[in-house]
Structure 1
Amino acid sequence: MTAIVDRPRAAKPRGRKRTVGDWIVLAFAVVIAVMIVFPFAVILINSFKSPGDYANGGPLTLPTGLYVDGIVNFWNRVDFPEKLWNSFFISGVVAILAVVVSVMNAFALGIGRVKGRVPLILVFLLANMLPQEVLLYPLYSIFRAVGLYDNVWAVIITFVVIQSAFGTYLLASVFGTFPKEVLEAAALDGAGRWRILWRVIVPISRPTLGVLMVFFFIWTWNEFLIPLTFLISNANQTVPVAISVLQGDRLMDVTTTSASALLGLIPTLVFFLIFQRTLTRGITAGAVK
């Protein structure tokens, strides 16, 4: 008979015990998360609260019933679909064009190694540090002279330049570290500079470009001062401008104001959630070789 020997079972790996420092970090993260979520929760509660509920209970109490008149009133007053399309069109065009311009500028500075590369990159960096108030009067004079005042393309051109300045500064640093072996191999295969850019560099840099495009879209969507200055017609206004102008002219009640903020927030939130994976891939792309 064969003796049966019991083998000792492998011990189950135990997770590392949390230290006091871990609990402190976790508590700090929870506090920060609550601070971030709290304003959105207040907006959501007051968007579906009647003026009577707000007057009786204040901004932090739950509504006694589902009140949607505030959302309906704001939707009809500002013609929200029109403002939504204006914001989407401007932000989408700016995001695409700014990324294209950034890629071409960064290719010349980061890989083409043009003369005066460092001073040019510093110029792009300084362009992001200028306050928008400084740009208003020169841009106003230029757009009035060329007939683009009160035209969405005035805002598009302005933001393409502003956003691409940041994109150029960022991508020039990324392209400057691009492996030379890949570029030399493509050149030996007969690829020109234009083909190397769009067939080699852009596909490899797609995660970073995706992150830039998402940020450019959200930044442009939330812009207020320049659209307020150059889009004076009601038909050309964006969502943030429509919200502020309506509040100043007609003195909406608090619940309708909260409804307007909710409607202005939902598109960017949906856009962010759709492209959340793109952001995650872009941010972690350089962490794993």
Structure 2
Amino acid sequence: MHATTAIVTGKPGKSRPRGGMTKKRPVDWLLLALVIVGALLVIAPFYLVLVNSFKSPVDYATSGPLAFPETLDFGGITKFWERVNFPEKVWNSIFISGIVAVLAVVISMLNAFAIGIGRVRGRSWIVLLFLLANLLPQEALLYPLYYMFKSVGLYDNVWAVIIVFTVIQAAFGTYLLSSVYGTFPKEILEAASLDGATRWQILWRVVFPISRPTLSVLLIFFFIWTWNEFLIPLTFLASNANQTVPVAISVLQGDRLMDVTTTSASALLGIIPTLIFFLIFQRTLTRGITAGAVK
């Protein structure tokens, strides 16, 4: 083989490692080390939450936060479950996050179809306006929204939070999908128009099926982002019955005293629903990202 290579190329044949693997350079080892360090930094908080969730206060005081529990103690989980009525908080978070995710994706698709494919006038300025809306800090919205919801009788109502987050997430979704729909193949749209399809039929029978992977990714992200929101639910959901999981976790933290084991247990219980949601839709998320990369 080496002789044949030398005859064809006129140069001595060089042996290559099996499997096409090349020798790792020092830069590769450095990048690998940085990835490992970054992974450890990400995993460390989860390790602390998991380990300390099953410790008793005495075990935590004697062994510290890094050691494994001597015996499994479910007192922190039970205490948090009963103190905040955890199933009620989980339902509030699922209800708010689910409705926000669905409404935001639908509104984003309709807006992006009008802007990206409908080619409305001032398209660039409209997209820029949606971008600026995403840059506004939530703290700047609290007072005007509080005054508005007080006036219409929606304060301390889950629909107030749903309306706010639907608008916020739809602004980001519109900005993202407008760029995607702006590059949509015109040939497909023209073919559908020649077949007698209306704008509504083009949207639901042509654009929606093709962009379904991207919409699925947006739906998953909107759900998780809304689930993790803290400031706006804390401000607009005053009663205990309407609070979400992140707000319920904050109730355990006092000014001068904090039960570490119960707080760790609350964080663990708060992670589990989103982890289950991610595992269920992991294949959908992977497919959506891969489809977007290929297209």
SS at match of 2:69: coil
For the residues of structure 2 that align with 1:250 and 1:155, how far apart are their CA atoms?
A: 31
Cα 1:158–1:283 change in 2 (3 A) is same
Of residues 74, 89, 92, the one that matches 1:83 is 89
For the residues of structure 2 that align with 1:282 and 1:127, how far apart are their CA atoms?
A: 26
For the residues of structure 2 that align with 1:187 and 1:138, how far apart are their CA atoms?
A: 45
Of residues 152, 161, 183, the one that matches 1:177 is 183
User: Which residue of the partner structure matches residue 141 of structure 2?
Assistant: 135
1:1-289 counterparts in 2 under 5 A? 13-248=19-254, 251-289=257-295
Query: Could you list the per-position Cα deviations for residues 129-152 of structure 1 after superposition, in whole angstroms to 9, with x for gaps in the alignment?
Result: 111111111111111111111100
* Farther off after superposition, 246-255 or 213-222: 246-255
Shift of 1:25: 1.7
Name the aligned partner's letter for residue 54 of structure 2.
F
Query: Could you list the per-position Cα deviations for residues 67-121 of structure 1 after superposition, in whole angstroms to 9, with x for gaps in the alignment?
Result: 0010011000000000000000000000000000000000010000111111111
TM-score normalised over the length of structure 2:
0.91
For the residues of structure 1 that align with 2:285 and 2:255, how far apart are their CA atoms?
A: 39
Contact 1:124 1:169 in 2 (8 A): yes
Shift of 1:284: 1.9
Contact 2:96 2:158 in 1 (8 A): yes
Shift of 1:272: 1.5
Contact 1:127 1:165 in 2 (8 A): yes
Shift of 1:13: 3.9
For the residues of structure 2 that align with 1:181 and 1:136, how far apart are their CA atoms?
A: 46
Name the aligned partner's letter for residue 189 of structure 2.
L
Contact 1:207 1:282 in 2 (8 A): yes
Shift of 1:61: 1.0
Q: Which runs of 5+ in 1 are unaligned?
A: 1-10
Query: Could you list the per-position Cα deviations for residues 33-62 of structure 1 after superposition, in whole angstroms to 9, with x for gaps in the alignment?
Result: 111011000100000011011111111111
Cα 1:250–1:214 change in 2 (3 A) is farther
Query: Could you list the per-position Cα deviations for residues 133-176 of structure 1 after superposition, in whole angstroms to 9, with x for gaps in the alignment?
Result: 11111111111111111100000000000000000000000000
Contact 1:224 1:241 in 2 (8 A): yes
Name the aligned partner's letter for residue 254 of structure 1.
V
* Farther off after superposition, 243-252 or 144-153: 243-252
User: Which residue of the partner structure matches residue 5 of structure 1?
Assistant: none
For the residues of structure 2 that align with 1:103 and 1:96, how far apart are their CA atoms?
A: 11
For the residues of structure 2 that align with 1:223 and 1:81, how far apart are their CA atoms?
A: 18
For the residues of structure 1 that align with 2:25 and 2:281, how far apart are their CA atoms?
A: 35
Shift of 1:252: 4.7
For the residues of structure 2 that align with 1:138 and 1:132, how far apart are their CA atoms?
A: 11
Q: State the number of aligned residues.
A: 279
Contact 2:213 2:292 in 1 (8 A): no
Cα 1:240–1:13 change in 2 (3 A) is closer
For the residues of structure 2 that align with 1:118 and 1:192, how far apart are their CA atoms?
A: 25
SS at match of 1:246: coil
User: Which residue of the partner structure matches residue 3 of structure 2?
Assistant: none
SS at match of 1:83: helix
For the residues of structure 2 that align with 1:15 and 1:229, how far apart are their CA atoms?
A: 56
Contact 1:78 1:246 in 2 (8 A): no
For the residues of structure 2 that align with 1:250 and 1:194, how far apart are their CA atoms?
A: 59
Q: Percent identity, aligned pairs only?
A: 73
* Farther off after superposition, 181-190 or 246-255: 246-255
Query: Could you list the per-position Cα deviations for residues 185-218 of structure 1 after superposition, in whole angstroms to 9, with x for gaps in the alignment?
Result: 1111111111111111111011111111111001
Shift of 1:249: 8.5
For the residues of structure 2 that align with 1:12 and 1:18, how far apart are their CA atoms?
A: 14
SS at match of 2:184: coil
For the residues of structure 2 that align with 1:105 and 1:287, how far apart are their CA atoms?
A: 23
Contact 1:90 1:156 in 2 (8 A): yes
